[in-house]
């Protein structure tokens, strides 16, 4: 069974893609690694690990690098309900078929 030290292949692929995308974004902005690392309050070697998709780097450091590149908004949308079609379908399936209004309780003064 996968452990945090040996994540599933799908997780490794996703982080490799994220790292490659971060690498490309940094290069498109013509920013040296040292500048992005400084802006993200991390080291150049950690930035190299991120760009390689290292699974041992914390998500907080990935987020700091995304912020340094002006891409943090995309991270906040990852699990947003508007992007969660499975969650929306499950929530919709759990809705009642019929809704009945509760009648107000009659008090003893009514008669």
51 and 20 Cβ atoms separated by less than 8 Å: yes
The reply to whether the predicted model has a pTM over 0.95 is no
Domains of the chain: 9-77 (1.10.260.40)
What span, in angstroms and rounded, lies between the C-alpha atoms of 111 and 107?
Answer: 8
Residue 51, burial from CB neighbour count under 10 angstroms (0-12, 13-18, 19+): buried
pLDDT tens across the length of the chain (111 residues): 556 578 999 999 999 999 999 999 999 999 999 999 999 999 999 999 999 999 999 999 999 999 999 999 988 888 888 888 888 888 888 777 787 888 887 776 655
């Amino acid at each position: 069974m996968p452990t945090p030290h040996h994540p599933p292949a799908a997780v490794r692929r996703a982080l490799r893609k994220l790292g490659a995308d971060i690498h490309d974004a940094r290069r498109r902005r013509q920013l040296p690694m040292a500048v992005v690392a400084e802006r993200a309050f991390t080291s150049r070697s950690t930035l190299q690990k991120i760009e390689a998709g290292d699974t041992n780097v914390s998500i907080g450091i990935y987020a700091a690098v995304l912020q340094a590149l002006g891409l943090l908004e995309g991270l906040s949308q990852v699990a947003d309900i508007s992007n969660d079609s499975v969650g929306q379908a499950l929530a919709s399936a759990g809705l009642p078929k019929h809704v009945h209004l509760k009648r107000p309780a009659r008090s003893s003064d009514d008669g």
